């Protein structure tokens, strides 16, 4: 069923229920009078109790112990529903309200705002995938991401895969534009050639002696005795601050910053627009190679073991 058909069915059902409730009465098929719907429900419940047809203690305990399970594999309808609901929540739901409130926090750093934006996104997606039986935690999101990747590898419907890709891009742009008060129309669309050229420049800037020296001076010296997790978190935060401001937003020798040079504008809005445009090419192998090479050099300068901040087999990310 298409998104329009599902929404139409829900709207029709809601209208029918609202009309019935607004009238406050339903016809009783056995008597020539009207009764309130809630009174019918009460009589039905009492009848059930009177005849001893209520749940046994064992059945009740079994229901309480029941744990929903995720699907054995995703179908087109499941993948489409999760994608469409995520986009709808970001565009119209409580998530959109939270994103707009986040955008109003003018004194918040770009790094903190971006991290808060991602927390809103993941909590929204978590709420949706939990309804399909996935665990309501980080493991559930990872499980869903793995199932989605497996589905995309085996799906033969190219039109449907293109639809998923388009929904993902639209959702991402709605997310970023709401958080940073951007007009979606102002977010550029890069070609693959332009995207690779931009990331090559980013990688070169990240690997420059100037940036690596600043990382050594300001990140590698952070120490938190007897608390390795806190130390890694502080180093990672300081590293992200340097990446965002020193690499992306600040220019060299009075020149425009990389995001401004790419035609995305300046400041935090330019950074957000650039990352949004580059997200379309997240799986490109050459861009991934540029990213990995530069991030490993930065991790080394910061005194960070990549294995402590990355999942096994994952690629380094340039966003906070």
How far is it, in rounded angstroms, from Cα 60 to Cα 70? 23
Per-residue pLDDT, 56: 75
Per-residue pLDDT, 243: 92
Distances in Å between the Cα of 215 and the Cα atoms of 128, 137, 298 are: 39, 33, 7
What tokens does 76 get? 């087109």
Per-residue pLDDT, 33: 45
One digit per residue, the tens of pLDDT, for the chain of length 320 reads 554 445 444 444 444 444 344 444 444 444 444 444 444 444 455 555 554 555 677 777 878 888 889 999 999 999 999 999 999 999 999 999 999 999 999 999 999 999 999 999 999 999 999 999 999 999 999 999 999 999 999 999 999 999 999 999 999 999 999 999 999 888 999 999 999 999 999 999 999 999 999 999 888 888 888 888 888 889 888 999 999 999 999 877 778 899 999 999 989 999 999 999 999 998 899 999 999 999 999 999 988 887 765 554 444 455 55
Per-residue pLDDT, 95: 96
What tokens does 249 get? 């937003």
Q: The whole model's pTM is what?
A: 0.74
Residue 232 neighbours by CB under 8 Å, 6+ apart: 304, 308, 309
Per-residue pLDDT, 120: 96
Please name the residue that has the structure tokens 């995309």: 152
Per-residue pLDDT, 164: 93
Per-residue pLDDT, 61: 80
């Amino acid at each position: 069923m298409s998104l329009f058909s599902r929404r139409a069915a829900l709207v029709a059902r809601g209208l029918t229920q609202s009309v019935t409730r607004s009238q406050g009465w339903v016809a009783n098929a056995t008597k020539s009078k009207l009764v309130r719907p809630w009174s019918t429900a009460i009589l039905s419940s009492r009848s059930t109790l009177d005849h001893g047809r209520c749940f046994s203690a064992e059945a009740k305990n079994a229901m309480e112990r029941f744990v929903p399970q995720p699907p054995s594999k995703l179908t087109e309808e499941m993948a489409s529903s999760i994608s469409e609901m995520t986009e709808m929540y970001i565009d119209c739901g409580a998530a959109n309200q939270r994103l707009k409130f986040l955008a109003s926090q003018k004194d918040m750093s770009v790094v903190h705002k971006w991290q808060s934006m991602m927390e809103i996104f993941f909590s929204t997606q978590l709420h949706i995938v939990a309804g399909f039986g996935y665990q309501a935690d980080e493991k559930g999101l990872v499980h869903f991401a793995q199932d989605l990747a497996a589905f995309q590898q085996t799906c033969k419907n190219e039109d449907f895969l293109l639809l998923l890709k388009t929904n993902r891009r639209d959702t991402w742009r709605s997310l970023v534009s709401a958080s940073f008060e951007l007009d979606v129309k102002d977010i550029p669309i890069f070609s693959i050639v332009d995207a690779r050229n931009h990331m090559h420049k980013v990688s070169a800037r990240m690997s420059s002696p100037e940036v690596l020296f600043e990382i050594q001076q300001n990140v590698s010296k952070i120490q938190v005795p007897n608390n390795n997790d806190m130390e890694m978190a502080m180093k990672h935060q300081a590293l992200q601050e340097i990446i965002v401001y020193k690499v992306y937003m600040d220019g060299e020798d009075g020149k425009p910053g990389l995001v401004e040079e790419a035609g995305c504008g300046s400041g935090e809005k330019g950074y957000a627009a650039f990352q949004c445009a580059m997200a379309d090419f997240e799986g490109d192998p050459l861009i991934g190679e540029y990213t990995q090479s530069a991030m490993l050099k930065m991790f080394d300068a910061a005194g960070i073991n990549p294995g402590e901040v990355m999942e096994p087999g994952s690629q380094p990310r340039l966003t906070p």
